[in-house]
Amino acid sequence: MLLVGVTTLPTASAAPFTLFESGQVRPLALSPNGRLLFAVNTPDNRLEVFHVGSSGLSHRTSVPVGLEPVAVAARSNDEVWVVNHLSDSVSVVRLDSEGREATVTRTLLVGDEPRDIVFAGPGKRRAFITAAHRGQNAPFDPQLTTEGIGRADVWVFDSENLGGSLGGSPLTIVPLFGDTPRALAASPDGSRVYAAVFHSGNRTTSLNEALVPDGGEAAGGTPGPNTNFAGKPAPEVALILKYNGENWVDVLNRSWTDKVRFSLPDKDVFTLNATANPPTQLAGGAGFHTGVGTILFNMAVNPVSGKVYVSNTEARNDLRFEGPGIFGGRTLKGHLHESRITVLGAGSVTPRHLNKHINYAVCCTPTPNTESERSLAQPLGMAVTSNGATLYVAAYGSSKLGVYATAQLESDTFVPSTANQIELSGGGPTGVVLDEARGRLYVLTRFDNSISVVNTATKQEVAHLPMYNPEPASVVAGRPFLYDARRSSSHGDSSCGSCHVFGDFDGLAWDLGNPDGDVKANPLPVVPFLPEFGDDPTLGQDTSFHPLKGPMVTQSLRGMANHGPMHWRGDRNGGDLGPSSQPDNGTFNEAAAFKAFNPAFVDLLGRSSQLTPAEMDKFTNFILQVMYPPNPVRKLDNSLTPAQQAGRDFFFNVTSVFNGPCESCHHTDPNANPSAGAFKGFFGSDGRSSFDAGRQFPRVPHLRNAYQKVGMFGVAFPNGSVPPDAFLGEQIRGFGYNSDGTIPTLFQFSSGFDVGILNPAGIPRTPEGELAKRNMEQYMLAFDSNLAPIVGQQVTLTASNAAVAGPRINLLRARAEAGECDLVAKGRAWNHELGFLYLGGGQFAGDRQALPHITDGTLRSAIAASNGVLTYTCTPPGSGPRIGIDRDLDGVLDGDERAAGSNPADAQSQP
């Protein structure tokens, strides 16, 4: 019966595991009575429950929740809330008194990519949840094209009155003036909640090359050197500027303030009044802290002093260049981000560099060395003792816990030392909770998906318990190469993950040119331009890669498979590997292109040598599996609004100044290359380069993450028919679109081609033309991605909410029928744990071999008749059998294994 069910799925041939690399925020929690430990099993989409005893931890049960759970908080001894990052949901889990049985009883729907949760307010009954200011479940217009809008939200629910609506009825949604939010913390009395912006920035921006005088530093333009070591003139490029409190200045401290049309207030951590009705941000300067850091990871509150500790990294992107720097100037080599804890007091912000022992003037000593072993990289989760005297910090990039006396941390008198660090065998610690009653720390180690138990008296790991991990071996083996700073840098504080945060980006631009580098030939094919210019698509311009390339925004490492050469110019490519054709041949070979980044370990991170070929193979095999999430702007039924559809029609059908419509360069075909499984398709790029209005030939960029870059508004240069903006005031981002991040909006991006696309005779702009550009903008914000919008979405059916949940179940079924997802249902009925996989045609297969297929209607009726509960989830295509009915894919269904006493999470354990 299982084989029949699986083979009838239209997507059964797809990969059974989809890698999102979501960053855990609050992965562990203790029950208030200290008897149970809760851990999110992110890759397995579950909550694991452990009994805490005098002899250690013992596993009690495992509860299916949403996709990519990243945070958990215990409201009581028998109720736990889990934040599901990809499902845009929160699972409310009820447990029996012993923690042996647990079930999701309610699924709350929130904004896009929720990350953290705390309970605070009166009786600590209010749940505060961070989410991005967008998403199909949000009951508001995100105003993605309006300047001055905060892009961070805190959703607040009354845990004792969730409301009868489909996704729950929040008390309020508090908007915050920042980019995507991440961490939360509550004051000891629950009266205040602190919310941190994730990519909070550091008051840097890029100035468009059109506003920088040509001719280099001598002419008032780009700071020197303006040639490489061989005297080859550099292209004219943009400038990175940093606000110094009075002016926007470049690396030479020259002011460009009159050219910047917005301000960056850099509001990093916000303070909410948790007891107000409804909760709201405190008024005035009491409502936020600035200058906390660039990437803010987590927060902890001292229970005695009330001070807030913020783990973060501070970017140094206002400086330039990688490589040895024979020109005598400082380079970024080995000194990109500084790992810090910033202490927030009443009106004070005090950053503390955790690695103040590092001598950045000396580089590239082989590791391990005495300096690197004292370093802590990428601090994440924290815990403070009840007396407020000691702070524990999980150093993700160092596979250690740091131990700090809070008084020494606050006064900056601490001395970095391995004596105050605890080695963890699993690697990649993300979260830590303190069990003072037993003198234990529990730490989740993400590299191996396990939990370490640490003795606080001896500062030693005393136990290590693995959780079931469905990730392929290639993912587990390759993940450390992205984050492990002890392996990546001679100082022990930098890794690729310093900028490519959790495999994504940091929201910044960096000038990573190298004056000591050679000019290299460009082997990439170029999209044909104007037919009247003949057969040369380059218009006679030099397409070679000059080593001084100017500012370029950090690119995501998601979704690189099937998209050819890498980096903005495509200067990391397969080179001369034979004929160039898609997929994956010649210069389009993604594996070869990614391996071309190996020199960056030395030139940028400051490693003493490159990775070995075997190590780089592992890194490559891992990173090419990381996937983009579904687009949160597009409607859940995958349809387009009239404006989006009009924009798509223009994008595909209206011939432009280029030799065809926009799609002729930004090639889009989600169904191309079906043999590549989950990685199939082109999403705005097929890997070719193109003519550009700037002085270099960039690769045509994909458009899957355009919605992530909303928040920079205000341009000082004329773009097509669009004049410069007036001063637009406070914004949340300093970098927008294009390779250098200088184009604020997609409207400005499309305006650059007015003359050719909309006004071929040079006619002044028209209302019809403006509308066409607005429609194009709407379409690009809702652009196709590898996964349909429905993937991850959930609903919980109970005996009493069929009328409310029914339409949502119908939607999930319809999208599964369309092949956009695999639909699974998990829950309990008649006191039995149940799992189902939708086969299509209204039929579900259960997780017991002997049971016949059951119709959708019969299943819903059974839940009502048994007073049961069932949570439906749309999972990535191909993953339904694993998530729904056969967890370890050993061919024996989960229900049969439970009945026989074998372990559904162990392929070696069978009836």
pLDDT single digits (tens) 108-118: 999 999 999 99
Residue 829's Cβ-side half-sphere holds a number of Cα atoms within 13 Å equal to 23
Alpha-carbon distances of 588 from 626, 678, 699, 911, rounded to whole Å: 18, 18, 12, 48
Q: pTM above 0.85?
A: yes
pLDDT for 751 = 60
Spell out the alpha helix ranges (H) of 301-389: none
- For the segment 348-370, the average pLDDT, to the nearest whole number, is 95
How many other CB atoms sit within 10 Å of the CB of residue 147? 18
Of 22-36, 635-649, 750-764, the range with the lowest mean pLDDT is 750-764
Report the pLDDT averaged over residues 502-531: 88
pLDDT at 482 over 90: yes
Say if residue 830's pLDDT is above 90: no
pLDDT of 763? 34
Give residue 486's pLDDT: 96
| For residue 269, pLDDT beyond 80 | yes
Whether the pLDDT of residue 583 is over 80: the answer is no
Kindly give, in sequence order, each residue whose CB lies less than 8 Å from that of residue 383, ignoring residues fewer than 6 positions away.
300, 391, 392, 432, 433, 434, 441
Do 356 and 340 touch, CB atoms closer than 8 A?
A: no
Over residues 543-556, mean pLDDT: 94
Does residue 368 have a cis bond before it (omega within 30 degrees)? yes
Q: Do β-strands 832-840 and 460-466 pair in parallel, antiparallel, or remain unpaired?
A: unpaired
pLDDT at 719 over 90: no
Q: What is the pLDDT of residue 688?
A: 86
Instruction: State the average pLDDT over residues 465-477.
Output: 97
- 633 by DSSP, 3-state: which? coil
pLDDT of amino acid 541: 75
Mean pLDDT along residues 14-22: 84
pLDDT for the residue 522: 87
Say yes or no to pLDDT of 658 above 60.
no
Residue 11's pLDDT is 36
Predicted local confidence at residue 664, as pLDDT: 83
Least confident of 104-113, 211-220, 665-674: 665-674
Residue 4 has pLDDT above 70, yes or no: no
Is the Cβ–Cβ distance between 62 and 50 less than 8 Å?
Answer: no
Task: Give me the pLDDT at residue 564, please.
Answer: 84
pLDDT greater at residue 720 or residue 789: 789
pLDDT bracket for residue 530 (50, 70, 90): low
pLDDT at 853: 97
Question: Of the given ranges (97-106, 386-395, 693-702, 869-878), which has the lowest mean pLDDT?
Answer: 693-702
Q: Which two tokens stand for residue 489?
A: 């840098």
Gap between the Cα atoms of 397 and 393, Å rounded: 12
C-alpha closest to that of 34 among 52, 61, 22, 46: 52
- The predicted pLDDT at position 12 comes to 35
Place of tokens 């815990």: 383
Judge whether residue 729 has pLDDT over 70: yes
Q: Tell me, what's the pLDDT at 580?
A: 65
Q: Are 569 and 551 in contact (CB under 8 A)?
A: no
pLDDT of the residue at 765:
61
The pLDDT assigned to 696 comes to 79
Nearest partner of 37 among 23, 46, 47, judged by Cα? 47
Write the pLDDT tens digit of every residue in 272-308: 999 999 999 999 999 999 999 999 999 999 999 999 9
pLDDT at position 663, please? 86
pLDDT at 232 over 50: yes
Statement: residue 328 has pLDDT above 80: no
| Average of per-residue pLDDT across 318-324 | 86
Averaged pLDDT for residues 259-270: 97
Q: Using one digit for the tens of pLDDT, what is the confidence trace for 695-711?
A: 677 888 999 999 999 99
pLDDT for the residue numbered 3? 31
- Whether residue 378 is predicted with pLDDT greater than 70 in this model: the reply is yes
User: Residue 539 has what pLDDT?
Assistant: 66
Mean pLDDT of 528-557: 78
Q: Please state the rounded mean pLDDT for residues 748-760.
A: 50
pLDDT of residue 240: 97
Q: What is the pLDDT of residue 129?
A: 98
Residue 407 has pLDDT above 60, yes or no: yes
* Position 348 pLDDT exceeds 80: yes
Tell me the Ramachandran region of residue 135: left when phi exceeds 0, alpha when psi lies from -120 to 50, beta otherwise: left
| Neighbouring-strand partners of residue 454 | 441, 461
Q: Binning pLDDT at 50, 70 and 90, where does residue 817 land?
A: very high
Say how far residue 322 (Cα) sits from the centre of its chain: 25
CA distance 246 to 560: 40
Write down the pLDDT at residue 662. Answer: 85
